[in-house]
């Protein structure tokens, strides 16, 4: 890898020898790479070797120069990579000490590109439904009619003679009524409109005869009748005559309209999701937002695609078993309502959201699905929060994959330490608004002596969304040497995502503190103000012990495998070695979505029916074929609660905790009992406690009255024999 670095007209300090030794790259230093030294860039670009340029300010210019320079390989053959070390490292009060951070950024930028992921496809022919009052419809019609095929839906309440006018020319289909539902995505929207007004706008010729005939002024230029004013003279019906657009006896009509795009100008939008589907715009009353929405919709014609941000393994999913609802963390947190339950639940179990079919376009409803949940790639916006809260790893993030993100974090941390940074820290931020904030911070710090800029120890890591990285990679980063981790929220994230991140941070802090790594190791910084960001990022760092030796493992595709590797390494080097030896468990906070813990069984209530064993999706619970026993492997437990909900005796409770040592993956006996022996043949079946409870509950039933109660104490074979014998005796005694 050939790397060109530029001190940007001597405004930042560079140490090319340090950068070269820490990264293993051939580093060339320049002062005006985009101006005076442009020839050096052209010569480097003509080489077949991979090229990395430490400048994003002039990336567009340099790419254009490369494209026009003879002998430079095409961009699709040898792309030139660009990385920012100016605002993120050099332009800071600690810029002279930022060499290790620069080395880390260069090393990460040189990593191989992640493998491409599958995509979700969209096709839009430009059919657009516009919802709003008459004035809004007329305005937008003039802005969009030349590029999109419009259908207008008048949703405002009829206002009589003072109503705004509908378009005079009947160029687009026009409907009026209440919007019952909007569903779908770009290229596949459905809008249900319920119309109760007597005037059919599709038939109406806008002749205004009804307006002149109405004695109550109940009809306006929106051609809708204000039924609160109308006193049933029906003069309008006579005036309409043969046109036949007015019918007071018409029943309510429901129109299902299909479109590729939806522009919602209602005061209360039909969709109030934090992440509405692509192709749906609700700009509200802000004129600038309306201009942006119109410009965006005009560009939404043609074929589009976006990554499938997730991978789903139904075998690991703990959503439901035996018609009972278990974990539904992913469904609850999704701000785009892209995740739906496919489980068939018991009558007393209420799904966490509406049935999936109610949210899908008509063409996609009723299709069979083997999965317990369904993630719709067309609605998914790639936040990754579902993968962060998933306890079992059934949902994993794919853009990038966990292995690729782990490789990036590990490279950043190990390179920075190799270059001499003792306590590196990570700053996780969104790659758009978060990157803009950090860029502004660097520029402010370069020009304003009251600003500090990014600390030299704080390495920025852009993510598609900050919720896509959770506890397993956080703890892995600590194992790789991170002293602390800061997550930056710019205020655009759904509140549920921030609550989930805070819960995961409480969980991670409890684990680290239990191991003896004291201090605040994880922080969520919420601000979009550059000066506030500067103050927050320059707070004193955690001064507790860091992991004594950077871990050598890499992140794995399985979430729980990565988590176990991180815990194992942190515990082996933990200040609190009693936890590592299994002498003490770490209690974890309830309500934080812990994927770690055990179950506690009330042995006085448990009858060893073993229903919980059949319900457990992760193999944490098992029986013993040799005798009545309930056994438990804590390492496998994902705290999904299905066992507790299945237990007919309500004998099971969850206890979030971390217990390390050999007992973590060794089967533990939670309950055991003496087997019951059949009173007729002596064969063992069931347990003493279960048979005694069954006798107590059923002895009053007519089928087991008197001596027949002994059948409850018999094995299945003897019970059938006894019933058959009793039936023969009854027949024999008949006259």
**CATH at residue 170:** 3.50.50
pLDDT, residue 293, reads 96
- The whole-angstrom distance between residue 516's C-alpha and the CA centroid of its chain comes to 32
Residue 100 lies in a domain: no
- pTM, whole model, 2 decimals? 0.87
The burial class, CB within 10 Å (0-12 / 13-18 / 19+), for 735 is exposed
The answer on 619 and 568 residing in a single domain is no
- Whether residue 433 lies inside any domain: the answer is yes
Q: Are residues 130 and 237 in the same domain?
A: yes
DSSP string for residues in 430-483: ETTHHHHHHHHHHHHHHH-TT---S-TTEEEEEES-GGG--HHHHHHHHHTT-S
87 domain-assigned: no
- Does residue 342 sit in the same domain as residue 481? no
Please enumerate in sequence order all residues whose Cβ is within 8 A of that of 701, keeping only pairs 6 or more positions apart, or say none. Answer: none
CA dist., res. 477 & res. 505, Å (int): 14
335 in the same domain as 219: no
- Asked if 411 and 539 sit in the same domain, the reply is yes
pLDDT of residue 170: 82
Residue 387 confidence (pLDDT): 96
Positive or negative, the CA dihedral 276, 280, 283, 287 is positive
- Indicate whether 99 belongs to any domain: no
Q: What's the confidence (pLDDT) of residue 5?
A: 97
Distance CA 715, CA 730 (A): 22
- Which structural domain, as residue segments, surrounds residue 516? 401-584
Q: Is residue 159 part of a domain?
A: yes
Nearest Cα neighbor of 656 from 456, 526, 507 is 507
DSSP strands (E only) in 332-377: 339-341, 373-375
Q: Is residue 249 part of a domain?
A: yes
If the chain, 735 residues long, is cut into consecutive pieces of 10 residues, what is the mean pLDDT of each piece? 95 96 96 96 94 96 95 92 97 97 98 92 97 90 93 88 80 92 97 94 91 92 90 92 93 95 96 94 93 95 95 93 89 94 65 42 40 90 95 94 97 97 96 96 95 97 97 98 96 95 97 94 96 93 84 96 97 94 94 94 91 94 89 96 94 96 93 86 80 79 78 87 80 66
- Here the tokens at position 444 are 């402010």
Burial (CB count <10 Å: 0-12, 13-18, 19+), residue 683 = middle
Q: How many CB atoms lie within 10 A of CB 245?
A: 20
Domain ends where: 552, 584, 616?
Answer: 584
How far are the Cα atoms of 82, 307, 561, 657 from residue 599, in angstroms, in the given order?
Answer: 51, 39, 21, 10
Q: Are 632 and 648 in contact (CB under 8 A)?
A: no
- Give pLDDT, residue 705: 75
Domain co-membership, 201 together with 248: yes
CATH of the domain at 656: 3.30.70.3270
Q: Is the peptide bond before 337 cis (omega within 30 degrees of 0)?
A: no
d(C-alpha 597, C-alpha 391), whole Å: 11
225 lies in the same domain as 277 = yes
Report d(CA 329, CA 340) in Å as an integer: 11
Q: Do residues 453 and 95 lie in contact, with contact meaning Cβ atoms separated by under 8 Å?
A: yes
List CB contacts of 121: < 8 A, sequence separation 6 or more: 303, 304, 305
471 and 561 belong to one structural domain: yes
Which of 58, 82, 106 is at the close of a domain? 82
Q: Is residue 332 domain-shared with residue 407, that is, in the same domain?
A: no
Question: Is residue 104, in this structure, part of any structural domain at all?
Answer: no
Report the domain count for the chain.
Answer: 6
Angle at 133 between CA 127 and CA 135, to 5 degrees: 95
Enter the DSSP assignment of 322: T
My answer on whether 293 and 313 are in the same domain is no
* DSSP label at residue 584: S
Q: Are 452 and 538 in contact, with CB atoms under 8 Å apart?
A: yes
Tokens of 718: 């003897």
Looking at 397, 422, 449, the residue that finishes a domain is: 397
Q: Do residue 63 and residue 162 come from a single domain?
A: no
Asked if 129 and 151 count as a contact pair (C-beta separation under 8 A), the reply is yes
| CA 676 – CA 681 distance, rounded (Å) | 12
Tokens describing residue 237? 């019906």
Is 106 within a domain? no
Helix ranges restricted to H, 629-687? 642-646
The predicted structure's pLDDT at residue 360: 41
Residues 574 and 638 in one domain: no
**CA of 240: how far to CAs of 43, 200, 464, in Å?**
80, 12, 58
Both tokens of 123, joined, read 């096709």
End-to-end CA distance of the chain: 103
What pLDDT sits at residue 348? 56
Q: Are 599 and 652 in contact (CB under 8 A)?
A: yes
pLDDT at 367: 40
């Amino acid at each position: 890898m050939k790397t060109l670095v530029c001190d940007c007209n001597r405004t930042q300090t560079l140490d090319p020898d340090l950068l070269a030794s820490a990264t293993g790259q051939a580093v060339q230093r320049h002062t005006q790479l985009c101006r005076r030294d442009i020839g050096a860039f052209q010569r480097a670009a003509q080489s077949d070797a991979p090229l990395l340029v430490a400048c994003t300010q002039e990336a567009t210019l340099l790419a254009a120069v490369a494209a026009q320079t003879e002998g430079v390989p095409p961009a699709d053959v040898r792309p030139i990579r660009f990385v920012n070390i100016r605002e993120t490292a050099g332009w800071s009060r600690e810029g002279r000490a930022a060499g290790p951070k620069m080395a880390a950024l260069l090393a990460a930028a040189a990593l191989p590109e992640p493998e491409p992921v599958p995509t979700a496809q969209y096709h839009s022919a430009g059919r657009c439904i516009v919802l709003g009052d008459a004035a809004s419809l007329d305005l937008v019609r003039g802005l969009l009619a030349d590029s999109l095929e419009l259908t207008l839906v008048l949703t405002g309440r009829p206002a009589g003679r003072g109503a705004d006018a509908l378009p005079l020319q009947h160029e687009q289909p026009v409907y009026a009524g209440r919007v019952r539902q909007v569903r779908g995505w770009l290229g596949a929207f459905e809008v249900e409109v319920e119309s109760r007004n007597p005037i059919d706008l599709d038939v109406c010729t806008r002749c205004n005869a009804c307006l002149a005939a109405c004695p109550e002024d109940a009809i306006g230029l929106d051609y809708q009748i204000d039924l609160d004013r109308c006193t049933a003279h029906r003069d309008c019906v006579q005036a309409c005559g043969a046109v036949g657009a007015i019918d007071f006896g018409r029943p309510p009509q429901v129109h299902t309209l299909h479109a590729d795009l939806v522009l919602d100008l209602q005061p209360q939008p039909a969709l109030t999701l934090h992440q509405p589907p692509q192709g749906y715009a609700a700009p509200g009353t802000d004129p600038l937002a309306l201009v942006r929405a119109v410009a965006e919709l005009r560009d939404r014609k043609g074929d589009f695609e976006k990554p499938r941000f997730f991978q789903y393994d139904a075998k690991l999913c703990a959503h439901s078993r035996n018609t009972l609802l278990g974990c539904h963390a992913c469904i609850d947190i999704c701000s785009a309502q892209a995740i739906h339950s496919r489980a068939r639940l018991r009558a007393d179990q209420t799904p966490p959201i509406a049935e999936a079919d109610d949210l899908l376009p008509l063409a996609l409803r009723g299709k069979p699905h083997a999965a317990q949940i369904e993630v719709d790639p067309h609605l998914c916006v790639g936040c990754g929060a579902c993968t962060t809260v998933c306890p079992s790893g059934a949902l994993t993030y794919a853009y990038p994959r966990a292995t690729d993100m782990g490789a990036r974090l590990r490279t950043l941390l190990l390179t920075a330490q190799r270059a001499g940074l003792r306590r590196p820290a990570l700053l996780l931020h969104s790659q758009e608004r978060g990157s803009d904030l950090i860029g502004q911070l660097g520029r402010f710090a370069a020009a304003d002596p009251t600003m500090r800029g990014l600390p030299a120890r704080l390495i920025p890591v852009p993510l598609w969304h900050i919720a896509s990285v959770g506890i397993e990679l956080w703890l892995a980063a600590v194992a790789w040497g991170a002293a602390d981790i800061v997550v930056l929220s710019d205020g655009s994230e759904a509140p549920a995502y921030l609550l989930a991140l805070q819960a995961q941070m409480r969980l991670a802090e409890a684990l680290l503190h239990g191991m003896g790594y004291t201090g605040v190791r994880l922080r969520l910084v919420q601000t979009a103000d550059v000066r506030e960001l500067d103050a927050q990022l320059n707070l004193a760092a955690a001064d507790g012990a860091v992991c004594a030796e950077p871990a050598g493992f890499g992140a794995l595709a399985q979430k729980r495998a990565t988590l176990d590797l991180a815990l194992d390494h942190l515990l082996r080097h933990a200040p609190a070695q009693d936890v590592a030896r299994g002498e003490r468990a770490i209690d974890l906070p309830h309500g934080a979505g812990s994927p770690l813990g055990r179950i506690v069984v009330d042995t006085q209530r448990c009858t060893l029916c073993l229903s919980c064993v059949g319900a457990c999706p992760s193999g944490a619970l098992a029986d013993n074929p040799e005798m009545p026993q309930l056994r438990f492997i804590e390492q496998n437990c994902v705290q999904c609660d299905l066992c507790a909900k299945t237990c007919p005796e309500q004998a099971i409770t969850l206890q979030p905790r971390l217990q390390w040592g050999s007992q973590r993956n060794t089967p533990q006996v939670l309950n055991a009992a003496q087997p019951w022996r059949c009173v007729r043949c002596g064969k063992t079946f069931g347990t003493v406690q279960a048979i005694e409870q069954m006798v107590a509950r059923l002895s009053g039933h007519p089928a087991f009255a008197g001596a027949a109660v002994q059948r409850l104490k018999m094995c299945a074979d003897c019970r059938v024999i006894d019933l058959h014998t009793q039936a023969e005796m009854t027949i024999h005694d008949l006259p």
